[in-house]
Structure 1
Amino acid sequence: MVRAAGPAAPATVPRTSAEASGRTSRARGDGQVVVISGLSGAGKSQASKLFEDLGYYCIDNLPPDLLDRFLALRDEDPARFRNVALVLDIRAGDPAPAIEAARAALAERGVPMPVLYLEASDAVLVNRFSETRHRHPLESRSGVQAGILLERERLARARELADQVIDTSGLSIGQLKEQLFRHVPRDSAADDLLIDILAFGFKFGIPIDADLVFDVRFLTNPYYVADLKPLSGLQTPVREYVLGQPAAGRFIELVVELLELTVPAYRSEGKTRLTVALGCTGGYHRSIVLAEELAKRLGSLGGVSVAVFHRELER
């Protein structure tokens, strides 16, 4: 069972669909198409992933010949292609004509198209290609640096067309994200850290996707109270029994303090999802109560979107 949590009362949502939970990014108006261009090795793939985390439909290395077809698809299915990030670079030739054509076509539709151009110093690019052992797309017998120089020349017009030129030489992922979205309109919720709170039972295994795991078996188990055994942690008698223990309230306070400290740091490092797992023996009583309580407390934090999942509830 899954619940979305926030300032209002939680509503049931599917476990596997971020879109159904209302946490997928939705831009204003008719959405937008963001073009990512720039030098090979400057971080375009990472930039595309950051947009994907915000709910954008990302297309890497779209051939210019298919641009008209893509625009037609967007007209046919605007919900699916509402917010799009296109990577246009040297692999398909000079992207400048495609950028100009797309900008004109989208302007007629009233759709904004910010162009972001990523670059880095020659030394940084050479080092990145050396570390990844990838070949530069324009590399010849003259070496990587000659390929970089040639690419700079061929992309000069695309750079001129950019709304924002970003030098990624010394940027962390968090700093890159900040630079990318500084001039890209978006809903405030699009930048939220998604916090999944998962109640589970240790007897069924620790969740492999958990970032933080807390053992709540220090609390007295309602399982051994005859009237409470058949009930779940979602029901009032079990909730009152668990939260009536002084250690339960103090535990929630400490976890909230920990997350108040770490959430801003997680966001600054570019993390987009955090899974907090609370485990008791069977995952049916104590962990469910505390997961629900923690979600209520975290719902008031700024910059987060919270959902609760009860892994063992249907067993």
Structure 2
Amino acid sequence: MRFVIVTGMSGAGKTTALKMLEDMGYFCVDNLPIPLLPRFVEMFSEPEEEVKKVALGIDVRGGQDFSGLKDVLEDMDAKKNEYEILFLDASDDVLIKRYKETRRQHPLSGSGRVDTGIAKEREKIMFLKMKATYILDTSKMLTRELKLELEKIFVKGQSFCNLYITVMSFGFKYGIPQDSDLVFDVRFLPNPYYIESLREKTGNDAEVQDYVMENEKTQVFLEKLKDMVDFLIPNYILEGKNQLVISIGCTGGKHRSVTLANALYRILEQKENYGVRIEHRDIGKDAITKRKE
């Protein structure tokens, strides 16, 4: 039997993940009282049991005694009961925003502030994150991207390193993305903006891509960038980092940065042991600015 405990921060997407696992053929139970967990595991471990894939959602709702959960997991380890822990996380800013959008109350905030509840929850469930088999940071994930990551792990059985990479293009005139881990400036490359036939196009258009990529400096830069990222990623994984934002900027975030971000994304998406997404933050802002003028 494959037994998965789905847990993590409230608002990080646990309920959504359980629904996705159910669609993948898992028998899913949400918010089972912790004292019932040993019997639950025993019941589904019977050799004649037909259910072979089980996902159990556990979180801080209902005031569950997480010190009791720690004891239960230690007992399961001693009995060599096999299980995996999927821990869903997100940054505090994103969690607060999600709670404000849904107008829901955090289960540990009471009548107080949401950020206070989030801080209490992080402290309560930190031991689960430390034991987690897989950690998914959903701060920047779309629903379909979460589904792809779960399919990689629980359907395709691909190796997984708890790292999710966002490759982002941006324009320096709109500011450097605050959540960037690595920032690269490609303003030294020839600017398609000054080619009239390319000005209104973007780095998603073949004509702009050809113009940028045919430059020898672009090829040298991309090769060196690939070498650097290939070196850094395994070391970030060893450090325990689970979210990496690589930002590539040009003046307006429309031509050169988009082209190079797309090129790096195509390189990284060939890897199977971590997730990667592409985001073009400022690709349409020039057009918006012109309309306002």
TM-score range, shorter chain: 0.5 to 0.7
Query: Can you give the 5+ residue segments of structure 2 that lack an aligned partner in the other structure?
Result: 57-64, 85-126, 135-152, 286-293
Q: Output the CA distance in 1 between the equivalents of 2:181 and 2:74.
A: 43
> Paired residue for 2:176, among 206, 216, 236?
206
Write out aligned runs for 1:90-239 (5 A): 92-93=34-35, 95-103=37-45, 108-112=49-53, 161-164=79-82, 177=133, 187-189=156-158, 191=160, 193-239=163-209
Describe the shift of the 1:262–1:102 C-alpha distance in structure 2 as closer, same or farther (beyond 3 A). same
Is this contact kept in 2: 1:94–1:155, CA < 8 A? no
In the other structure, the counterpart of 2:278 is 308
User: CA contact under 8 A between 2:27 and 2:53: conserved in structure 1?
Assistant: no
The alpha-carbon distance between structure 1 residues 207 and 84, as it changes in their structure 2 partners (threshold 3 A), is farther
Q: Secondary structure at the match of 1:78?
A: helix
TM-score (norm 2): 0.55
In percent, how many aligned pairs have the same letter?
Answer: 26
SS of the residue 2:23 aligns to: coil
Alignment length, in residue pairs?
215
Return closer, same or farther for 1:83/1:220 CA change in 2, 3 Å cut-off: farther
- Displacement of 1:283: 0.6
| Gap runs ≥5 in structure 1 | 1-30, 36-46, 60-72, 116-134, 139-150, 179-183
Distance in 1, Cα, partners of 2:224 & 2:25 = 42
- Which secondary structure does the structure 2 equivalent of 1:108 belong to? coil
Contact kept in structure 2, 1:199 and 1:287, CA below 8 Å: yes
CA displacement 1:80-127 (0-9 Å, x = unmatched): 883869787xx84474334324545x9634224599xxxxxxxxxxxx
Aligned counterpart, 1:241: 211
Q: Which amino acid aligns with 1:187?
A: K
Q: Tell me how far 1:56 sits from its aligned partner.
A: 8.8
User: Cα–Cα, structure 1 residues 100 and 220, in superposed 2: closer, same or farther, change >3 Å?
Assistant: same
The 8 Å contact of residues 189 and 303 in structure 1, kept in 2 or not, is answered as yes
User: Residues 137 and 307 from structure 1, CA distance in 2 versus in 1: closer, same or farther, beyond 3 angstroms?
Assistant: closer
Q: Aligned partners of 1:57 and 1:32: how far apart in 2? A: 19
Q: Which has the larger radius of gyration?
A: 1
Per the TM alignment, residue 258 of structure 1 is displaced from its structure 2 partner at its CA by 0.9
Question: Structure 1 residues 258 and 49, CA, compared in 2 at 3 Å: closer, same or farther?
Answer: farther
Give me the whole-angstrom Cα distance separating, in 2, the residues matched to 1:174 and 1:95: 20
Indicate the structure with greater helix content. Answer: 2
Q: Which has the higher contact order (CA 8 A, sep 6+)?
A: 1
